[in-house]
Structure 1
């Protein structure tokens, strides 16, 4: 199986069919887990599956982004009260090694009833296009992350995007560069100041570029999982899942 096929088979076994043994066959025995609440190893994943089944939680995958041995799923979890909220938006990242799924990272965020832009956290285009432009789109997005989100040169924002054409799926931000800047300022006014923003995982396929970043917000660790869509050399759309990183975890692998 390709990495994409393998990851989708694992996701189906764990979250749709609720088949622990099928899931075990698809992962390495020393499966590395980064979800803060789930123990590491194949046993940690297998032990989670009955809890998912008993909770009635359902999962929907909206996008699949693949590059090399990494596969990103853009998911929604419903009936997920046992895991923190009725509905959760999530990015799940899997690393494949020698025909098995070897590692998993994720970020989850409750889905609000309304959003600033009127868009949902997971709706919008899903088709992957422009695969021949993957490398240049990745470079464009990483430049945007460094200059604009990381604060190295925010004045360069027009090099990466049309300030008026930035479709926003973050529930707290309005469209456009103005919406991004206003939202960032509003967050700072509430005491949330981003001082570091360091990409840890980057997965690009065609017009989609995903970046998982380790950040410091007012002195505390946060994780920002962002997905951008690029069109004709400009960033035009953004989705994200943001959460604080807990100080205590069910393993010693860290968030990243």
Structure 2
């Protein structure tokens, strides 16, 4: 990787895959700071709050990453969470601050993915298809 931004994007991609898709909590610990600060209204404080949330979700949980952007130590991930047991996948924008190569702080914006019938624009929220077309 040639820049701090490229390195940080790669760290976040690997961290998300390790925790949400592989569910390898021991390996995920190296990506999340023990002092991790959680700003999400949906997740209990700290690294353990996040890990406990993931542990409570069905094994089918998947995170798909569509876009990763970085500015210095701030990284934004636009993705889809599916298989969490809710009626519709979540489309999320996750904002992470890295410190010394680990995830130190997190904010998010989450909404349920719209079906074709719900989309006033007539366009999918994520990718090229609506969730019912997968």
Alignment TM-score, normalising by the size of structure 2 = 0.81
CA distance in 1, matches of 2:78, 2:94: 7
Report the equivalent of 1:40.
Answer: 45
* Aligned equivalent of 2:132: none
d(CA) in 2 for partners of 1:113, 1:46:
29
Shift of 1:119: 1.1
CA radius of gyration, larger in: 1
CA distance in 2, matches of 1:81, 1:49: 12
From 79, 83, 88, the equivalent of 1:79 is 83
TM-score where L is the length of structure 1? 0.44
Report which structure shows greater RCO (CA 8 Å, sep ≥6): 2
Match of 1:14 in 2: 19
Q: Deviations over 1:82-119 (max 9, x none)?
A: 4xx42111111111001111011111111121212221
1:64 to 40, 61, 68: 68
Mapped to 2, the partners of 1:45 and 1:73 lie a distance apart of 16
CA contact (8 A) 2:36 2:105 kept: yes
- 1:3 is aligned, of 8, 15, 20, to 8
Separation (CA, whole Å) in 2 of partners of 1:46 and 1:109: 21
**Paired residue total:** 121
Query: 1:45 offset after TM fit, Å?
Result: 2.0
4+ residue stretches of structure 1 with deviation over 4 A? none
Q: Where does the alignment leave 5 or more consecutive residues of structure 2 unmatched?
A: 2-6, 129-134
Deviation at 1:55, TM superposition (A): 4.8
- Give structure 1 stretches of 5+ with no counterpart: 125-256
> Partners of 1:66 and 1:100 in 2: how far apart?
14
Residue 92 of structure 1 pairs with residue 94 of structure 2: yes
1:118 maps to which residue? 122
Show CA shifts across 1:164-204 (max 9, x none). Answer: xxxxxxxxxxxxxxxxxxxxxxxxxxxxxxxxxxxxxxxxx
Question: C-alpha distance in 1, partners of 2:54/2:82?
Answer: 15
